Amino acid sequence: MEKQFYSYMQKTEHLKEAAGLMAWDLRTYAPKKGAAGRGEAVGTLSEMIFERETSEEMRSFLNELPGRTDNKVTEASLRECRRTFDKLTNVPQEEYKAFVVLTTQSEKAWEEAKETGDFQTFAPYLKDIVDFQRRYAEWKGYEGEKYNALLDDFEPGLTTEKIDDVFAKLKQELVPLVEQISTKKNPPADLFSGMQEQDQAAFSQKILEAMHYDFDAGRLDKTVHPFAIGLNSGDVRVTTKYDENDFRTAVFGTIHEGGHALYEQNIGADLYGTLLSGGASMGIHESQSLFWENFVGRHYAFWKSYYPLLQDAHEPLKNVPLDSFYPAVNQAGPSLIRIEADELTYCLHIILRYELEKALIRGELEVDDLPEAWADKMEELLGIRPENDSEGVLQDVHWPAGMFGYFPSYAFGYIYAAQLKEAMLQDLPEFNELLEEGNLTPVKEWLTENVHRHGRLMDPEELLKSASGWEMTPEPLIRYLTDKYTALYNLKESEEVDK
Amino acid sequence: MEKQFYSYMQKTEHLKEAAGLMAWDLRTYAPKKGAAGRGEAVGTLSEMIFERETSEEMRSFLNELPGRTDNKVTEASLRECRRTFDKLTNVPQEEYKAFVVLTTQSEKAWEEAKETGDFQTFAPYLKDIVDFQRRYAEWKGYEGEKYNALLDDFEPGLTTEKIDDVFAKLKQELVPLVEQISTKKNPPADLFSGMQEQDQAAFSQKILEAMHYDFDAGRLDKTVHPFAIGLNSGDVRVTTKYDENDFRTAVFGTIHEGGHALYEQNIGADLYGTLLSGGASMGIHESQSLFWENFVGRHYAFWKSYYPLLQDAHEPLKNVPLDSFYPAVNQAGPSLIRIEADELTYCLHIILRYELEKALIRGELEVDDLPEAWADKMEELLGIRPENDSEGVLQDVHWPAGMFGYFPSYAFGYIYAAQLKEAMLQDLPEFNELLEEGNLTPVKEWLTENVHRHGRLMDPEELLKSASGWEMTPEPLIRYLTDKYTALYNLKESEEVDK
């Protein structure tokens, strides 16, 4: 029966591979007139996947197999299949269908509302979505906070209680730091425009190669909203966006997606064809992309070796010394839009959303009061207020898409990444020197050994503990940001930590 | 129940769309390390399609629906579903599985045998395949010749009796014509090399645009073995190959695949999501690609308008007058390899294969005697003998892949195309003038009106009769080839038909 279970999982994975390729194609090469038909076909495949994940056959695997195996891959696969099965079957089928329809309508209403800045036209949909989330939490069940049920879908094991503790520490340290920095003048940042698309593409390719992204098991393509996607163990693709007005979009975007892709390319062969052949969680996945984007890609030592390559690809930079370039790509300060935020302020954008979500689910905040609450929180955390809802409460797709409990994963991705970085330094004390030499091999190998190869075998916190040696804590991130930005903005006589 | 039938068909079409995209991707952009996993995933989807095509649900549609509808799309869809159902269920399941394994092994053995030229290592597999084909014909059932059962899978309604009659006429006219031409000296053909890949790509794009291929509902990509593929009604893709040593590969290959793609792009909207949304048969599909490749693309008048465009794309051609270029792209004469054959000799290559297949299925020829029989036929039809089996009996993938009864479709594609051309001339007597002006719109519209839009609504011969006004006959093809090549090779005082 164990053999049948593997064969059953593999077929589901094959359907996911097909749906994944269709999604990749839609966002890269598909002609526009095929999009509507393609959407329907993806819908059919999603339905088939749903049916397999919730079938009677799956139920019998889940009932019969546990306890009858000592294979840890089987055990962990059963755990993941059970999680999916419960998640999908806890919701009454009629409610689930209605929710799918609701989110489709809601996303449409949101797009229009974002265009016009009119929150009130979107509010009725959001009310229904929040209402569904509250009921969903009840169907699913939870311990402690109701919101924990939602968190668990994205970051298994994470709770409101843990988040409150971690976010309190972050706020305490970061809010005053951002406040101090916002009084400082940023270095000039007009050096990012004018790099030709093909030069950005060539440089992106070189950076991915330096990261040991395997081009025989992947590709780099152009898209509008960049993503990485693992189709099978030998096919993990990166997409990026080329903005001739700002090459940072491509450079840091490619490194970020490359971090996701490296994870998927290096999952252990023993996990192929099982539900464990993906990343451990949203947060752990994000830790990999952020590790490369920030802890490598925004590091002074990294640019010491790779800046000449960038200068070769874009002549005007030959007049810009590294010591001007480095602070320019590490500018920080309060801003309104999350996806444009810098690494220092990013977590504060997440904390804002988390506190509002929690209050909505608790019933302590009503949807109608959300725009005001958003602006107030923004002021409290970042010292600025949005002028309209488009650059405030309407900016993200997550709520219209019905994703509550997702945002904290982003912040925990940072926290995990910083913790992994400190752990890595114990094994690779020569980290800075390696980057200066442009040798990223040991960095990639450490991540593969400690994170990538395990796929979804462990829950996120268990994996983090196994990789770093200690429990999850925000201290490494606080240390990293405090030290780096204190030095960058000369907030005191500093040891120039990052240089 | 009719509604459920449509919904059922549509879901199967969605799975085919997914499998089609995976196949396209494998042959264009997929990284090599993903190929093995992708192959398995395609296998899973094929299995799921097979299950749907032969399911109990399908059986009940086929039992309940006929006679209960007067919708001709439903009726024709039921006819096609029945054809597939019978084809797949007539074979005992164990035999079918064994055959799939056999063809996989056989293709592998064939690849090696082709490499070394050693037919004997491949012969045992081919014996088993021929044996299966004979049994398959019995399971399926047939009237008259056993071989008719095989033909029906590719060209419904075509029979050995009809082919024998048609091929006898072709042989009678073409064998002496080829013999005459083979004594003539061909014009120099060293003008096809040196055109850069990007120039070939740009020219290919322009020709597709001139043919009214819709780039908003398709794409042109590069591949090794060119093909066109319809994924859904708004997504029909063309692939081509760029050979810098010979631009004819790309130019005529693109026009050929463009002909297939135009067909799929212009199937009536009422057929979307049904089994009728493809071409009527292999032969009718081939008639569309050959119409464009030969009756348009090798026509003097076509080059009168498009040759300057090609000369702009490839400077050296500016020294080659049209009156030298035209005969150079219409060279004919005996050759050993089917896929490199010209339009005059092509049918003789098919007749050779047909006669051998028929004899094998009848039991009048044994596999061991095949190489000798091949060489003898080659000499009889084309006056030349292969020096080894690689350029003889081992050249095609069809037999190793288990496709018997397929080859005649190619010749009938020519026959249909020539017949459509004569019918078109009745409606568009100004055909030559249109081509000279570079105006391909009326040609494309005629084909859409009379062929494309009907999809698989009619059987091939019915469609041909409806489009051309008369029964299938090889006379138009014989007239076309005789007139054109008599003039081109000055075989007698001619009227220069094609010019």
Starting at the earlier edge strand, list the strands of the sheet with B220-222: B220-222, B235-240, B228-232
- A218 contacts in B (CB within 8 Å)? 31
Question: What percentage of chain B reaches a pLDDT higher than 70?
Answer: 98
A219 interaction partners in chain B (CB closer than 8 Å): 29, 31
- Is A492's pLDDT higher than 50? yes
Q: Name the least confident of A268-277, B89-98, B206-215, B240-249.
A: B89-98
Gap from B112 CA to chain A (nearest CA, Å): 26
* CA distance linking residue A229 with residue A18, whole number of Å: 12
B114-499 under CATH 1.10.1370.30, yes or no: yes
For tokens 């649900």, the residue is: B57
Q: Is A68 on the interface with B (CB under 8 A)?
A: no
The pLDDT-based confidence of A499 (bands split at 50, 70, 90) is very low
Q: Closest by alpha carbon to B12, among A41, A160, A489? A: A41
- 8 Å CB contact of B232 and A10: no
Distance (Å) from the C-alpha of residue B358 to the closest C-alpha of chain A? 40
The confidence score (pLDDT) of residue A55 equals 97
Q: Is B33 on the interface with A (CB under 8 A)?
A: yes
Q: Is B260 annotated as a binding residue?
A: yes
Model confidence pLDDT, tens digit, residues A176-190: 999 999 988 877 667
Q: Which residues of A196-223 are buried (b: 16+ CB within 10 A; e: fewer)?
A: eeebbbebbbbbbebbbbbeebbbbbbb
Contact A327, A395 (CB under 8 A): no
Asked if pLDDT for residue B497 goes beyond 90, the answer is no
Is A299 annotated to bind a ligand? Reply is no
Helices B119-140 and B370-382: crossing angle, nearest 10°?
Answer: 90
Question: pLDDT confidence of A494, banded at 50, 70, 90?
Answer: very low
pLDDT the model gives residue B189 = 67
What architecture is the A125-499 domain classified under in CATH?
Orthogonal Bundle (1.10)
pLDDT tens readout for residues B122-158? 999 999 999 999 999 999 999 999 999 999 999 999 9
- For A234-240, what is the mean pLDDT? 97
Q: What is the ipTM of this complex?
A: 0.91
Q: Which residues of B touch A15 (CB under 8 A)?
A: 44-45
What pLDDT is stored for residue A104 in this prediction? 87
Instruction: State the best of B42, B48, B220, B231 to mutate against chain A, taking most chain A CBs within 10 Å.
Output: B231
Measured in angstroms, the CA of B216 and the nearest CA of chain A are apart by 5
pLDDT in tens, B34-80: 998 999 999 999 999 999 999 999 999 999 999 898 899 999 999 99
- Return the minimum-mean-pLDDT range out of A475-489, B11-25, B94-108, B282-296: B94-108
Q: What percentage of residues in chain A have a pLDDT greater than 90?
A: 92
pLDDT of B301 higher than 80:
yes
Average pLDDT of the segment spanning B180-198: 87
**Mean pLDDT, residues B149-169:** 96
Mean of pLDDT over chain A: 95
pLDDT band, residue B185 (cuts 50/70/90): confident
Q: How many CA atoms lie within 13 A of B228 on its CB side?
A: 29
Output the pLDDT for position B467. Answer: 97
Instruction: Report pLDDT digits (tens) over A26-77.
Output: 999 999 999 989 999 999 999 999 999 999 999 999 999 998 988 999 999 9
Contact predicate B318/B311, CB 8 Å: yes
Question: Mapping DSSP to helix (H, G, I), strand (E, B) and coil, where does residue A5 land?
Answer: helix
Name which of A30, A48, A217 is nearest B33 (Cβ-Cβ). Answer: A217
CB contact A26 to B (< 8 Å) = no
DSSP label of A452: G
Kindly state whether A231 is in contact with chain B, defined as any CB-CB distance less than 8 angstroms. Answer: yes
Domain ranges of chain B: 2-89, 114-499
Query: What pLDDT does A84 receive?
Result: 94
Average pLDDT over chain B, rounded to whole?
Answer: 95
pLDDT tens, residue by residue, A185-210: 877 667 999 999 999 999 999 999 99
Using the beta-carbon criterion (under 8 Å), do A234 and B25 form an inter-chain contact? no
